[in-house]
Amino acid sequence: MKDAPTDPELIRFLREELGEALPAGGHWSFTGPLWLWRGKAKDGTPTSTAWHFVTIDGAVADGIRAAAPGRSAAWGSVYVSVTVGATRWQTSVFPSKDVAGYLLPIKASVRKAERLVEGDMVTIALTI
């Protein structure tokens, strides 16, 4: 099977103009910092809720957005397969207006297996 197109404009053309079902989706590799989001109560005080993310923006976010129709779920999230180091898992990326892209959650088992901590630069392979 041929590799799926990764150019956002080509993906959009294939989907909208030709009415073609896309192959498996797209595949992207990128590197970004691992950062920690901490929850806040309604009064603004910090809570114990915390999640680790890597931000997806720019051309990668554009490609995901173009390939996402028919592959998305609640709140505009998009199902993806992710590889970091030797660890591969299935998850969703979540849209973020703040970054004009997506947020990729990095779960604890992945951080532990790959020895990742907040601030580390993480190289990610992502497939839709």
Domain borders along the chain are 8-127
Percentage of residues in the chain having pLDDT higher than 90:
53
CATH class of 8-127: mainly beta
Which of 60, 67, 65 has the alpha carbon at shortest distance from 24?
67
Residue 2 has pLDDT above 80, yes or no: no
Helix (H, G, I), strand (E, B) or coil at 65: helix
pLDDT tens track for 14-32: 556 555 554 446 899 999 9
Q: What is the reported pLDDT for 103?
A: 96
Residue 68 has pLDDT above 60, yes or no: yes
Q: What is the value of pTM for the model shown?
A: 0.75
Q: What is the reported pLDDT for 1?
A: 36
* Average pLDDT of the chain, as a whole number: 84
| DSSP label of 43 | T
Q: What is the reported pLDDT for 125?
A: 96
Q: How far is CA 90 from CA 40, 81, 105, 128, in A?
A: 28, 5, 11, 10
Contact 46, 94 (CB under 8 A): no
| DSSP label of 21 | P
